[in-house]
Amino acid sequence: MVAIVYYQDLSTLTTNLLAIMVVKQVFVNVFEYFSERILIGRKIGQVDRLFAEPIKQAALVGDVIEEADLKMHCEIEKQLCMAPPPTTLVFYYNEGII
């Protein structure tokens, strides 16, 4: 944390603190987005590689039902890899204030 002594009025202090909170929140959200994208993207890539060969084999054989079934299971596995939705809309107190 940075401690700054203000010899200015309260409105300038409020504006500066609000700007700091917004910039901090933007950085936190960008970090969370990319960290989840990397972690979940890796898991989804593994699922794609797992189902790629069986789907290709079903397409070569011409078994339309088996191919559709494998694609459906692939999509279900991708959904299971994703993080569950949060139960609250405000995760931290400072997000509620902003």
H or E segment to which residue 46 belongs: helix 10-61
**Which of 27, 30, 42 is CA-nearest to residue 82?**
42
Domain ranges across the chain: 10-97
**Strand, coil or helix: what is 83?**
coil
- pLDDT band, residue 16 (cuts 50/70/90): confident
Give the global pTM.
Answer: 0.54
- Give the tens place of pLDDT for each residue, 23-70: 999 998 888 888 888 888 888 999 999 999 999 999 999 999 999 999
